[in-house]
């Protein structure tokens, strides 16, 4: 059994990054006993930026009391975390960035990760822009996740060319996401 947490930062529940995330979760759930938790920050009632108050360095966890704290707690207990975001203005959207900044709490005062070793991350990045922008964003976000303490399971990037290539019609992409999810069925827990 794997404990999988998905953080879908798309403001559109049927957007490209959300559809790829859903395909991964479909594969992960199957007939398995995986525990899956899905967070959609766009639905949060209370969400704050990192204040860089450094409270996390003395308490060991983020001290801001809002809906992101539950996400951070779930990340700590997860075997695999799926991070998905659309690209806006050549970077992740604000919801992703807010969650990413709050993960600063997973680094101690010496910038060493406090997460359990072996925690996997799948990064899903979508855009209507050319693929070259996605590769640059993927490299930056992957490096940030590695710094925080994740091992990269994979990175999926997809450009829908302003809606001309919808995810729903790309069987190869859906199959890839579902296959990665099925792979998690047989992954030992952290």
Q: 142-165, pLDDT tens digit by residue?
A: 999 999 999 999 999 988 887 778
| pLDDT tens for each residue of 81-114 | 999 999 988 889 889 999 999 999 999 999 999 9
Which structural domain range is residue 99 located in? 3-184
Q: CA nearest 79: which of 111, 37, 44?
A: 37
User: In this predicted structure, what is the pLDDT of residue 98?
Assistant: 92
Q: Is residue 147 part of a domain?
A: yes
Residue 189 resides in a domain: no
Q: Write the pLDDT tens digit of every residue in 3-53.
A: 888 898 888 878 888 889 989 988 888 755 557 777 777 677 788 899 999
Residue 94, in any domain of the structure: yes
Return d(Cα 27, Cα 30) in angstroms, integer: 6
- Going by C-alpha positions, the residue among 160, 158, 157, 161 that lies closest to residue 141 is 157
| Whole-structure pTM value | 0.90
pLDDT, greater one: 160 or 116: 116
Residue 82 is predicted with a pLDDT of 93
pLDDT tier at 132, thresholds 50, 70, 90: low
Angle at 157 between CA 32 and CA 151, to 5 degrees: 60
Report how far residue 61's alpha carbon sits from residue 79's, in angstroms, rounded to the nearest whole number: 19
The reported pLDDT for the residue numbered 88 is 87
Q: What is the pLDDT of residue 144?
A: 96
pLDDT of residue 120: 94
Say if 162 falls within a structural domain.
yes
Domain membership of residue 190 (yes or no) is no
For residue 133, pLDDT beyond 60: yes
Q: How far is CA 64 from CA 43, 47, 149, in A?
A: 18, 9, 21
What pLDDT sits at residue 160? 85
In CATH, what number is assigned to the domain containing residue 85? 3.40.50.360
Does residue 146 belong to any structural domain of this protein? yes
Beta carbons within 8 Å of 22's beta carbon, 6+ residues apart? none
- The reply to whether 170 falls in a domain is yes
Q: Please give the tally of structural domains in the chain.
A: 1
10 within 8 A of 43, measured Cβ to Cβ: no
């Amino acid at each position: 059994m794997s404990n999988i947490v998905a953080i879908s930062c798309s403001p559109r529940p049927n957007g490209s990054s959300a559809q790829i995330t859903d395909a991964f979760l479909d594969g992960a759930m199957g007939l398995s006993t995986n525990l899956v938790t899905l967070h959609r920050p766009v639905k949060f009632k209370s969400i704050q930026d990192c204040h860089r108050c450094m409270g996390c360095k003395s308490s060991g966890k983020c001290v801001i009391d809002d809906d992101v704290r539950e996400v951070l707690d779930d990340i700590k207990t997860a075997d695999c975390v799926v991070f998905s975001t659309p690209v806006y203005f050549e970077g992740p959207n604000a919801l992703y960035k807010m969650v990413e900044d709050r993960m600063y709490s997973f680094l101690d005062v010496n910038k060493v990760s406090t997460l359990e070793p072996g925690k996997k991350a799948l990064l899903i990045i979508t855009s209507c822009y050319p693929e070259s922008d996605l590769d640059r964003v993927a490299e930056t976000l992957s490096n940030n996740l590695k710094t925080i303490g994740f091992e990269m399971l994979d990175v999926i990037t997809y450009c829908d060319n302003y809606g001309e290539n919808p995810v729903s019609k790309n069987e190869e992409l859906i199959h890839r996401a579902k296959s990665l999810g099925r792979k998690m069925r047989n992954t030992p827990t952290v």
